[in-house]
């Protein structure tokens, strides 16, 4: 169960209100959504419920401590909708697992749907073969026999059609008819009428065993395509879960000294554990290039962290002792130790995931209208089918008697030419005509477009937005976007691309203070030193060297000070690359010429780095 404080109520009410997330399966149409919501809202202690068909998730608002999640899930399962509550337990991995379980279930349902579709298609092809042979004049007796078609229809109902029939019956028994109820009634009615006509040929009824086979085949094809579309639509949301690492490096026992802050040593034990086992207060080691597993505070070391997944800032942020770091962000340049401050569902990343999922359950106004209409759609179709039967049975066949007889004669003519039909003349009685038309009304009506289009659009929009760093609070917000006429952005560090390029490479002329190098040599030295880092400036220097097709000398003894500079030994010479203050701290003299050029470049909005060979400055990039 995922408990989230309600944000739009008073503090006094907040303590008495909880939100619970349920993974609900078995929903096929908007009628199922309405049935699930009715089951939830009628449960004691539940204040409201919002169900999303596309994501198969229900968010329930309830009184604190008044509802047992497992009991509520069992009631929904008994109603024909397999349900399980989210059980986070304050752990990211468990949250991930709770979300992946429905994903696994959807994958299994997809495989089962494909198997059923294959069987239905084979039956459909066999059923149509008789008609093809009838048109071509080449008749295969077995495929053209009426008992063979009866067997095909029976197999279609028992194997690929069985889940539809069972689900439709369960919905009807719980006073919640759905699309499967319509399909089940239509196919069973057609099959039963055909079976009666076959067993009692003296009635003169027509056998239409092909109709159940064709109906099930096309319906299963549509649902398989629908499942594939929903799976693809949810892919972007699932990628959010991959941002959190699954493994953390737990620091066993930091070295402690009385009256001092715990510290690390080379003998400190580090053990890899699942990230969901991390507890608040524990120390973790994060190496360069690894994602930070939990929210925490740096207790040892310094580094630069790529927080673009959280803030949108492409330029890495310098992190030092005492700074806070966020789960899912990327440690770039230095090894650090952090103390966990927030774990599991309390981390910023977990809250982002919860926000995105909650947004996908918030309905747009147009979706509320569509769901309201679709909720009564099944009852409307059943009523329309009943009225169709009554009208044609009592009035239609009498008003248009000549048209019905002409159609009957045409069908009978084809029947006499075919060995698949009974030898008796088909008599189109009012009962038979009314029954066929009522069946047609039931099976052609499908509210899937009405009930699926809007939630799927919201699912795609919010998930892709989250993948690109844009959090949309719900479908109602998404629907209002077209009314905007002004958008205000925070540009610096957010809209900035963060991909710098080298614009100038300025070597200094030889004098008493500066060593003389060419611009090519200056760039080669800088690229060699930066080969040991992944900072955006380092990447820019390396890409410029590759663009000029320069050979990069080997470098050893790398040392990086995040936010300041990097040093290495290149061809036996100590090379430092960083800002002027850092070079001064290393005892390197910065000439007035170098300072003036750096100021001019900075005035043009450029970032400068200084390169020193040994103890003298050689140039600016």
Q: What 3 state SS string does 143-159 have?
A: CCCHHHHHHHHHHHHHC
pLDDT tens for each residue of 411-467: 555 554 444 444 444 556 788 778 878 877 876 765 555 556 666 677 777 777 766
Q: What is the mean pLDDT of residues 534-540?
A: 83
Instruction: Inform me whether the pLDDT recorded for 563 exceeds 80.
Output: no
Structure tokens at 32: 């199922």
Residue 204 has pLDDT above 80, yes or no: no
Could you say which of 210, 300, 323, 490 is catalytic?
A: 490
What local confidence, expressed as pLDDT, does residue 62 receive? 86
Checking if the pLDDT of 107 tops 80, the result is: no
The answer to whether the beta carbons of residues 343 and 90 sit under 8 Å apart is yes
Q: When comparing pLDDT for 151 and 367, which is higher?
A: 151
Beta bridge partners of 272: 249
Give the whole-angstrom CA distance, residue 160 versus residue 121.
10
Q: Report, as an integer, the average pLDDT of 261-280.
A: 75
Comparing 400 with 394, the larger pLDDT belongs to 394
More confident call, 29 vs 81: 81
DSSP state of 482: G
Q: Domains of the chain (ranges plus CATH)?
A: 11-89 (3.30.70.100), 101-237+364-449 (no CATH), 248-343 (2.70.150.10), 506-620 (3.40.1110.10)
CA dihedral 577, 582, 587, 590 (to 10 degrees): 80
CA-CA-CA-CA dihedral for 559, 565, 567, 571, to nearest 10: 140
Query: And the tokens for 382?
Result: 């059943």
pLDDT confidence of residue 251: 86
Question: Angle between the 365-375 and 377-391 helix axes, to the nearest 10 degrees?
Answer: 40
Report the pLDDT value the prediction gives residue 482, as an integer from 0 to 100.
83
158: CB partners within 8 A, 6+ apart: none
Give, in order, the Cα–Cα distances in Å from 274 to each of 80, 248, 250.
Answer: 36, 6, 9
Q: What's the rounded Cα separation, in Å, for the pair 363 and 379?
A: 23
pTM of the model: 0.56
Burial of residue 268, with CB atoms counted within 10 A of its CB: 0-12 exposed, 13-18 middle, 19 or more buried: middle
More reliable by pLDDT, 1 or 494? 494
Residue 179 belongs to what H/E stretch? helix 179-199
pLDDT at position 269 over 60: yes
pLDDT, position 291? 92
Token pair 């008992």 is found at: 147
Report the distance separating Cα 81 and Cα 313, nearest Å.
43
Higher pLDDT, 564 or 326: 326
3-state secondary structure of 71: helix
pLDDT (0 to 100) of residue 556? 86
The answer to whether 329 touches 310, Cβ cutoff 8 Å, is yes
Nearest of 128, 141, 149 to residue 209 by alpha carbon: 149
**39-65: average pLDDT:** 85
pLDDT tens profile 479-520:
788 888 998 887 666 676 767 889 988 888 765 555 568 888
CA 402 to chain centre: 57
**Is the torsion defined by CA of 577, 309, 335, 551 positive or negative?**
negative
Looking at the DSSP bridge assignments, the partners of residue 317 are 305
**Tokens describing residue 177:** 């008819």
The C-alpha atoms of residue 416 and residue 422 are separated, in whole angstroms, by 8
Phi and psi at 98, nearest 5°, equal -65, -30
Which pLDDT belongs to residue 581? Answer: 85
The yes-or-no answer on residue 490 being catalytic is yes
H or E, element range at 610: strand 610-613
Q: 118-140 burial, b if ≥16 CB within 10 A, otherwise e?
A: ebbeebbebbeebeebbeeeeee
pLDDT band at 50 (very low <50, low <70, confident <90, very high): confident
Confidence of residue 382 (pLDDT cuts 50, 70, 90): confident
Q: Count the Cβ atoms, other than its own, within 10 Å of residue 347.
A: 26
At which residue do the structure tokens 């103390």 appear?
Answer: 339
Question: Would you say residue 338 has pLDDT above 90?
Answer: yes
pLDDT digits (tens, 9 = 90+) for 278-328: 999 899 999 988 999 999 999 988 888 988 877 777 778 889 899 999 998
The per-residue pLDDT for 296 is 94
Q: What average pLDDT does range 93-118 have in this prediction?
A: 66
């Amino acid at each position: 169960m995922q408990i989230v404080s309600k944000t739009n109520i008073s503090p006094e009410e907040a303590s008495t209100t909880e939100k619970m997330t349920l993974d609900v399966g078995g929903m096929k149409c908007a009628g199922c959504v309405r049935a699930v919501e009715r089951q939830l809202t009628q449960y004691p202690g539940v204040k409201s419920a919002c169900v999303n068909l596309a994501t198969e998730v229900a968010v329930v608002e309830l009184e604190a401590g008044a509802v047992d999640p497992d009991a509520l899930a069992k009631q929904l399962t008994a109603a024909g909708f397999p349900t399980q509550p989210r059980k986070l337990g304050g752990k990211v991995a468990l949250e991930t697992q709770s979300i992946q379980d429905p994903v696994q279930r959807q994958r299994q349902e997809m495989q089962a749907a494909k198997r059923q579709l294959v069987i239905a298609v084979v039956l459909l092809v066999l059923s149509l073969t008789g008609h093809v042979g009838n048109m071509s004049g080449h008749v295969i007796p077995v495929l053209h026999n009426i008992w063979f078609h009866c067997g095909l229809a029976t197999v279609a109902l028992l194997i690929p059609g069985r889940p539809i029939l069972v689900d439709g019956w369960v919905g009807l028994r719980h006073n919640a008819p759905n699309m499967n109820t319509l399909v089940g009634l239509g196919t069973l009615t057609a099959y039963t009428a055909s079976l009666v006509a076959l067993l009692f040929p003296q009635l003169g009824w027509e056998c239409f065993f092909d109709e159940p086979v064709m109906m099930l085949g096309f319906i299963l094809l549509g649902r398989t395509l629908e499942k594939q579309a929903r799976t693809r639509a949810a892919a972007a949301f699932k990628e959010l879960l991959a941002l959190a690492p699954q493994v953390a490096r737990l620091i066993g026992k930091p070295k402690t000294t009385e009256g001092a802050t715990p510290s690390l040593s080379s003998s400190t034990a580090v053990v890899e554990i699942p990230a969901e086992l991390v507890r608040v207060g524990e120390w973790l080691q994060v190496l360069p290039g690894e994602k930070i597993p939990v929210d925490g505070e740096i207790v040892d070391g310094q580094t630069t962290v790529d927080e673009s997944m959280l803030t949108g800032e492409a330029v890495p942020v310098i992190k030092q002792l005492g700074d806070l770091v966020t789960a899912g962000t990327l440690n770039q340049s230095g090894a650090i130790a952090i103390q966990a401050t927030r774990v599991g569902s309390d981390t910023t990343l977990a809250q982002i995931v919860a926000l995105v999922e909650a947004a996908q359950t918030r309905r747009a106004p147009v979706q509320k209208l569509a769901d309201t209409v679709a909720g009564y759609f099944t009852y409307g179709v059943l009523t329309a089918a009943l009225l169709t039967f009554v009208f044609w049975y009592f009035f239609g066949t009498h008003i248009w008697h000549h048209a019905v007889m002409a159609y009957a004669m045409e069908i009978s003519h084809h029947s006499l030419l075919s060995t698949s039909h009974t030898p008796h003349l088909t008599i189109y009685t009012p009962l038979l005509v009314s029954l066929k038309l009522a069946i047609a009304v039931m099976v052609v009506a499908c509210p899937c477009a009405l009930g699926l289009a809007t939630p799927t659009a919201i699912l795609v929009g919010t998930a892709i937005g989250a993948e690109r760093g844009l959090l949309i609070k719900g479908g109602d917000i998404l629907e209002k976007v077209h009314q905007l006429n002004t958008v205000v952005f925070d540009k610096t560090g957010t809209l900035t691309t963060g991909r710098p390029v080298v614009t100038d490479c300025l070597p200094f002329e030889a004098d008493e203070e500066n060593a003389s190098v060419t611009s090519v040599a200056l760039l080669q030295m800088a690229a060699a030193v930066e080969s040991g880092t992944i900072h955006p400036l380092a990447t820019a220097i390396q890409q410029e060297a590759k663009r000029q097709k320069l050979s990069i000398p080997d470098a050893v003894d790398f040392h990086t000070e995040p936010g300041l500079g990097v040093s290495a030994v290149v061809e036996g010479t100590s090379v430092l690359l960083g800002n002027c203050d850092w070079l001064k701290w290393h005892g390197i003299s910065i000439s007035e010429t170098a300072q003036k050029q750096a100021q001019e470049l900075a005035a043009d909005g450029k970032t400068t780095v200084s390169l020193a060979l040994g103890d003298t400055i050689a140039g600016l990039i």
